[in-house]
Amino acid sequence: MRKTMKKQFPENFLWGGALAANQAEGAYQTGGKGLSISDMQPYGVIGGSMERNTDDFNIKDISIDFYHRYPDDIALFAEMGFKCLRTSIAWTRIFPEGDEEVPNENGLAFYDRLFDEMRKYHIQPLITLSHFEMPYGLVKKYGGWGNRKTIEFFERYARTVFERYKHKVKYWLTFNEINMSLFSCFTGVGLPEDSEIQDIYQALHYQLVASAKAVKACHEIIPDAKIGNMVAATSYYPLTCHPDDVLESLKKNRESLFFFDVQARGYYPSYMTRLFKEQNITLDITDEDQQALKETVDFLSLSYYMSCCATTDPNMVKSAGNMINPVENPYLASSEWGWQIDPQGLRYLLNTLYDRYQMPLFIVENGLGARDVIQDDGSIIDDYRIQYLNDHLFQVREAIEDGVQLLGYTSWGPIDLVSASTAEMSKRYGFIYVDRDDQGNGTLERRRKKSFNWYKDVISSNGNILTAPGVKNENSQ
Ligand code: P53
C-alpha cells in the first residue's frame, strides 16, 4: 500500500514572533532618543499626526516598556521555543534627529544588549531598519522622504547598524510595509497626509533607492546575511466574475506587487508607465538611481491579516476598521476591527508570489487583534486566537506542500503591544497578556494566555499538531 506523505514544515523553519520598536519599547526619550513620526501620532496611523506637546498623552511613550523588560520577555519567547524574533531598531535611538554625522552610542549599546539576550537563547534576530518611525527631525528640516537627501541619511544609518551588529544579526528587512504610504504617507514617508499622488510616488522612489542601497551595504558588510523587503501583501479578489471587476482586481493587486517587483527584479515594471502617464506623474529618476535599484533583495517578506475584494461598482459598501477599506467579501467573517479573516487567502497569496518571483518568502506578520477577558481564576482563554493562527498555519503548510519556499513565520505581537492603526492596548495579538489599558492604567505585568502553550506545542512539533480548519485540537481544549 502506498504511504501517504505527511505534510511538513521544513527543518530549520524559523518559528517566532514580530514586534516593532515604536509599539513595544516605550522609553521614548531615554538614552538620547529623538522624536520620531510615531511620537507625533498619539492616535495611531488612522488618527493622523500632530505636533507634540510634552504633556500630551501618547500610549507609546511607555508602550509595554519592552526597553526595560526585554530580558523577561525574551525568556518567555524562549520558553515557547522561538527560533526567531523580529523587531526593529528605532532609527531615532541611533540618529536622534536623523542628520547627525556621529551615531548615539547609548542607542547602539541598547541594541547590543537586546541582540545578545536573543542570542543567549539561540533566537535569531530578524531586524527591520525602519518600522513606521523615521526621525521627526528629518521631516521638519528636509521634508522627510520628499527630499533626495534623506537617501544619504538612511544609508548612513543602515551602514552604521550593519557594521555594529554584523556578528549578531544575519536577517534584515529594510522598510516595514513599504506600500503603506499609499494609505498613510505621513507614516511611511513623512509627507503631509493631503499630499498629491505625484509627491507620494516620488518619495517612495527615493525610499526604494534607499532600500536598494541598504541591500548593497548589507551584502558588502555582512556577506553571510540575508536581507529582504517587506510589503503589506493583501490580495484582492474580483468581487464578481464581471470582467470589469477582474481587471479592477489586477489593478489593485499591482498597487502592492509594484513594490515586490522593484525590490525583487531591480527595475520598475512596465505597467507603471501607463499608471504614471494617466495620473500625470513624472518622477525624478536618475541613471544612478536605476543602477542602484539593480541590487535586489535575498528574500521577500510580507504581512498578512486579511484579503480584500475589488469592484468598479461604486455602490458597494466598504467595510470599516482599517485603512485599506476593502469591499466586503460575503463569504468571510471579520474581526472586531473589520479585518476579514481568510486563511486560504494566505495559501493563495504565497503561491502567487512564489510563482511570480521564485524567491524565498518569509511571513513576518500575521495574527488576530482581539479583546481578551481575564477569568476569575486569572486565566485567559483565547480560543479565537488559537483558531485563527491554526487555520492560517494549516494553509501555510499547504502552500509549502504546493512548492512554496518559506523561510519562516513570525506571528504579529507575540506579547500584547500598542496597535499601529489605532494606538490601542485593547486590540491584543499576544500569547502573553500585558496588564495595561488604553488610558495607560495597569501594572505592565505579563501573563501567559492559553495560546502560549498552544504555540509552544506548534513549534516543538514543527507544526504537526495543526488541525484542519474546523477540527479542534486536543491540546487546545
Ligand atoms: P494594528 C494596516 C493594515 C494592515 C497592516 O495592525 C497594518 C496596518 C497599519 O496599521 O500594519 C501592520 O496594530 C504593521 C504593524 C501593525 C500590524 O500590521 O493596527 O506592520 O505595525 O501593528 C497590525 O492592528
Domains of the chain: 14-461 (3.20.20.80)
Nearest CA owner, ligand 1 atom 13: 419
Report pTM.
0.96
d(CA 155, CA 292): 12
Ligand 1: nearest atom to the Cα of 418: 13
Nearest CA to ligand 1 atom 11: 420
Looking at the CA of residue 306, tell me the nearest atom of ligand 1.
Answer: 4
User: Which residue has its alpha carbon closest to ligand 1 atom 16?
Assistant: 420
Other Cβ atoms within 10 Å of 243 Cβ, number: 10
Instruction: Give the integer Cα–Cα distance in Å for 118 and 159.
Output: 22
* Burial status of residue 244 (CB atoms within 10 A of its CB: 0-12, 13-18, 19 or more): middle
Cβ neighbours of residue 50 under 8 Å, at least 6 residues apart? Answer: 40, 41, 42, 56
Asked whether the predicted pLDDT for residue 48 surpasses 90, the reply is no
456 contacts 389 by C-beta, under 8 angstroms: no
Say how many C-beta atoms besides its own lie within 10 A of residue 122's C-beta: 10
**Which pLDDT band, with edges at 50, 70 and 90, does 2 fall under?**
low
Task: Tell me the residue type at 304.
Answer: Y
462, 446, 234: which is closest to 353 by C-alpha? 234
CA end-to-end span of the chain: 34
Q: Which three cell numbers stand for residue 414?
A: 507575540
pLDDT attached to residue 475: 47
Report residues whose beta carbon is within 6 angstroms of any ligand 1 atom. Answer: 20, 23, 45, 176-177, 232, 303, 305, 322-324, 365, 369, 412, 419-422, 427
CB-based contacts of 357, cutoff 8 Å, min separation 6:
260, 264, 265, 300
Q: Pick the residue whose CA is nearest to atom 15 on ligand 1.
A: 420
* pLDDT at position 294 over 60: yes
pLDDT band at 314 (very low <50, low <70, confident <90, very high): confident
Hey, which of 236, 349, 421, 426 would you mutate to test ligand 1's pocket, going by the most ligand atoms within 8 Å of its Cβ? 421
Distance (Å) from CA 421 to ligand 1 centroid = 6
Indicate which residue's Cα is closest to atom 9 of ligand 1. Answer: 421
Confidence of residue 96 (pLDDT cuts 50, 70, 90): very high
Known catalytic residue: 365? yes
Cα separations (Å) of 400 from 163, 165, 404, 405?
35, 32, 5, 6
Cβ-contact 168, 117 below 8 angstroms: no
| pLDDT the model gives residue 219 | 98
pLDDT at 319: 53
Instruction: Give 47 Cα–ligand 1 centroid separation in angstroms.
Output: 13
- Backbone φ, ψ for residue 340 (5° rounding): -80, 125
Q: How confident is the model at residue 152 (pLDDT cuts 50, 70, 90)?
A: very high
Phi-psi category of residue 42: left, alpha or beta, with phi > 0 → left and psi -120 to 50 → alpha: alpha
pLDDT of residue 315: 81
Mean predicted confidence (pLDDT) in 104-131: 98
Lowest mean pLDDT segment, chosen from 55-64, 153-162, 219-228, 284-293: 55-64
- How far is the centre of ligand 1, averaged over its atoms, from the C-alpha of 419 (Å)? 7
- Ligand 1 centroid, distance to 117 Cα (angstroms): 26
Q: Is the pLDDT of residue 146 over 50?
A: yes
Cα of 420 from ligand 1 centre, angstroms: 5
Q: Which of 187, 231, 412, 428 to mutate to test the pocket of ligand 1 (most atoms within 8 A of CB)?
A: 412
Q: Residue 17 in contact with residue 411, Cβ under 8 Å?
A: yes
Tell how far the Cα of 323 is from the centroid of ligand 1, in angstroms.
9
pLDDT surpasses 70 at 472: no
The preferred substitution site among 130, 303, 411, 429 for testing ligand 1, maximizing ligand atoms within 8 Å of CB, is 303
Instruction: Give, using CA atoms, the residue closest to atom 14 of ligand 1.
Output: 420
Distance, in Å, from the CA atom of 293 to the CA atom of 267, rounded to the nearest integer, reads 6
Parallel/antiparallel/unpaired status of strands 446-448 and 432-434: antiparallel
Residue with cell 500610549: 59
The predicted structure's pLDDT at residue 205: 98
Among candidate residues 25, 117, 248, 365, the one labeled active-site is 365
**In the predicted model, is pLDDT for residue 169 greater than 70?**
yes
Residue 394 pLDDT > 90, yes or no? Answer: yes
Give the distance (Å) from ligand 1 centre to CA of residue 220. 32
Confidence of residue 473 (pLDDT cuts 50, 70, 90): low
- E strands, 313-424, are 361-365, 406-412
CA distances from 272 to 187, 266, 320 (A): 23, 14, 29
Average the pLDDT over 11-21 and give the result: 98
C-alpha 286/C-alpha 266 separation (Å) is: 14
pLDDT at residue 477, as a whole number: 39
Closest CA to 56 of 78, 33, 91, 28: 28
pLDDT tens figures, 407-442: 999 999 999 999 999 999 999 999 999 999 999 999
Whether the pLDDT of residue 470 is over 90: the answer is no
Residues 75-100: what's their mean pLDDT? 98
Q: 231: part of which helix (H) or strand (E)?
A: strand 226-232
Atom of ligand 1 nearest to the CA of 422: 19
Closest C-alpha among 332, 330, 433, 443 to residue 385: 433
The share of the chain scoring above pLDDT 70, in percent, equals 95
